[in-house]
Amino acid sequence: CGVFGVIGVADAANFVALGLHALQHRGQEAGGIVSHHPDAGFQSARRFGYVRDNFTSQDVMETLPGPLAIGHVRYSTSGNKGPTAIRDVQPFFGEFAMGGAAIAHNGNITNAEALRRELIERGSIFQSSSDSECIIHLMARSLQRNIPERMEDALRRVEGAFSVVAMTRTKLIGVRDPLGVRPLVLGKVGDGWALSSETCALDIIGAEFVREIEPGEMVVITSKGLESHFPFRRQASRFCIFEHVYFSRPDSILGGRSVYETRENIGRELAKESPVEADLVCPVPDSGTPAAIGFSLESGIPYAMGIIRNQYMGRTFIEPTEQIRNMGVRLKLNVNRALIEGKRVILVDDSVVRGTTSRKIKEMILDAGAKEVHFRIASPPTAWPCFYGVDTPQREKLLAATMSEDEMREHLAVDSLKFISLDGLYRAVGETKGRDKSCPQYCDACFSGEYPVTPADQISHGFEM
């Protein structure tokens, strides 16, 4: 998901709509905005579909007045899968004795089921099936006298990944979980402030990037300025390494690194680790593009757009049902036949998850007359599900959970298949895996199976780490 918030500008909701539009790659199922105006109070709009189709018309934006607003773009990783119910669309809102608060959450709460059960037993009335709603109910049960402190109380009970943007009548609040699994950045826009999942959304509103919200940090911003606290026990951070590989936009800066440059580095590492003779390097667009450029630069094999993407289709994996995902490949990608015919082609993609996309693409490339097909993958084999906010399927459906690299090559029926090593991936982000404790470590659980937060709900359903 993507979260965005602005305080201290006229018509903040317009800024939020623009920010969410720039974060659309993080969630395409639905979006919502809550605003506050001293006269109109809290207002909200929550819709299915793209930001550009819902939050551009005057009719809608006029209903969201005021100098303070937050928003969310949703892609479901918990709660109801398939067609999202409108009740699952964020931001969520709660009325407390001291006033209202709205929250937007990116990440996934790993003890949400246990919390929900406990809260329902004690009388909470849940409105949605989303894990994020727990935060509101935990806040309602807190005895603290102001909303930021109630949020601290609530979030201390929550396990897993959370980057939260919240608002009261007068405050914009941003929090990251102690491991900082999901990104959250701070920007300055005119006399006001912005919070965003990624820096690319600051650019769109002309905000200046100030800094990242730190893992475990809570910032509370009012018209008087910004206060920062660290309400959780301090831990070494574990940022999601897959944000660098796939999830974030290439024009964003994460941890001081250009996502684009990291992806190009990954391609260079891949070319060093797994060279192969061929005529062309082609990306599987768009997610494989920077790595393919890196592979081509390092190997000297010409880069070419052997697969053309229909720009009017979204990210396939974000469509939550398998059936749509299967169709999605042909709706989205087509082979550039004139270029491919008679060639030995290296295809570079970001990941192999179920293998369905990769198989279809290989068939399309062979149908177009390619002589050889070599897959190079910009992440290690995805052998474990993510429980921290990326929608990977159950372990059994992950190709790499049941097959060796050789078996996967056979299954995909390609001439060669190589994944970047985990060490190579760490090199590409400028760090070293494991051995050196002074080096920042990432979450890499979907590749290594080392889960930095015990996925309690999953374990209660029989998941074995």
Residues contacting 452, CB < 8 A, separation 6+: 179, 181, 238, 443, 445
348 binds ligand 5GP (CB under 6 A): no
Q: Which residue number, 16 or 353, has a Cβ lying nearer to ligand 5GP? A: 353
Q: Of 148, 164, 136, nearest to 70 (Cα)? A: 164
Shortest separation between residue 385's beta carbon and ligand SF4, angstroms: 8
Q: Which residue type is seen at 432?
A: T
The verdict on 444 binding ligand 5GP (CB under 6 A) reads: no
The least CB distance from residue 355 to ligand 5GP, in Å, is: 5
Q: What is the 3-state secondary structure (H, E, C) of 226-253?
A: EEEECCCCCCCCEEEHHHHHHHCCCCCE
- Sketch the per residue contact string, 280 through 319, with Mg ion: x for CB under 5 A, - otherwise: -------x--------------------------------
Secondary structure of residue 379 in the 3-state scheme: coil
Query: Which residues ranging from 265 to 304 are in contact with ligand 5GP (CB under 6 A)?
Result: 284, 287
Residues contributing to the site for ligand SF4 (CB under 6 A): 181, 240-242, 386, 388, 390, 443-446
The site for Mg ion, by CB under 5 A, has a size of 1
CA distances from 176 to 32, 142, 229 (A): 20, 20, 11
The entry of ligand SF4, Mg ion, ligand 5GP, none near residue 240 (CB within 5 to 8 angstroms by kind) is ligand SF4
Residue closer to Mg ion, measured from CB, 76 or 287? 287
Contact between 363 and ligand 5GP per CB under 6 A: no
User: Which member of 1, 200, 282, 386 is catalytic?
Assistant: 1
Residue among 190 and 320 whose Cβ is closer to ligand SF4: 320
Contact segment (CB under 6 A) with ligand 5GP among 55-63, 64-72, 267-275, 384-392 equals 384-392
What one-character DSSP code corresponds to residue 303? B
Minimum Å gap between C-beta 438 and ligand 5GP is 30
Angle between helices 356-367 and 405-412 (to 10 degrees): 50
Check if the beta carbon of residue 273 is closer than 8 Å to that of residue 418.
yes
Binding flag, residue 44, ligand 5GP (CB under 6 A): no
| Residue 392 is a binding residue for Mg ion (CB under 5 A) | no
Active site residue 1: yes
Inter-residue contact 33 to 45 (CB < 8 Å): yes
Tell me the C-alpha distance between 241 and 244, whole Å: 6
- Is 163 a binding residue for Mg ion by CB under 5 A? The answer is no
C-alpha to C-alpha distance for 420 and 160, rounded to whole angstroms: 27
Query: In sequence order, what DSSP letters do the residues of 46-90 get, joined into one string?
Result: EEES-HHHHSSSHHHHTTS-SSEEEEEEE--SSSS-SSPPGGGPS
Dihedral angle, C-alpha 239, 290, 330, 360, nearest 10 °: -80
Question: Could you say which of Mg ion, ligand 5GP, ligand SF4, none residue 181 binds, taking C-beta under 5 to 8 angstroms by partner kind?
Answer: ligand SF4
Peptide bond into 177 cis (omega under 30): no
CB of 389 to ligand SF4, least distance (A): 6
124 binds Mg ion (CB under 5 A): no
Q: How far is the CB of 405 from ligand 5GP (least distance, A)?
A: 14
Select the residue interacting with ligand 5GP from 24, 351, 441, 458 (CB under 6 A): 351
The minimum distance between CB 19 and ligand SF4, in angstroms, equals: 22
* Smallest gap from residue 384 Cβ to ligand SF4 (A): 7
Nearer to ligand SF4, 295 or 447 (CB): 447
Cβ-contact 201, 23 below 8 angstroms: yes
Does 349 engage in binding with ligand 5GP (CB under 6 A)?
A: yes
CB under 5 to 8 A by kind: which of ligand SF4, ligand 5GP, Mg ion, none does 241 bind?
A: ligand SF4
Q: Cα–Cα distance between 170 and 225 in angstroms, integer?
A: 11
CB atoms within 10 A of CB 140: 18
- Residue nearer to ligand SF4 on the CB measure, 3 or 16: 3
Q: Where are the alpha helices (DSSP H) in 308-387?
A: 322-332, 337-340, 356-367
> Which amino acid, residue 8?
G
What are the residue numbers of the active site?
Answer: 1
Can you give the binding site for ligand 5GP, defined by CB under 6 A?
246, 284, 287, 316-317, 349-358, 390-392
Can you give the binding site for Mg ion, defined by CB under 5 A?
287
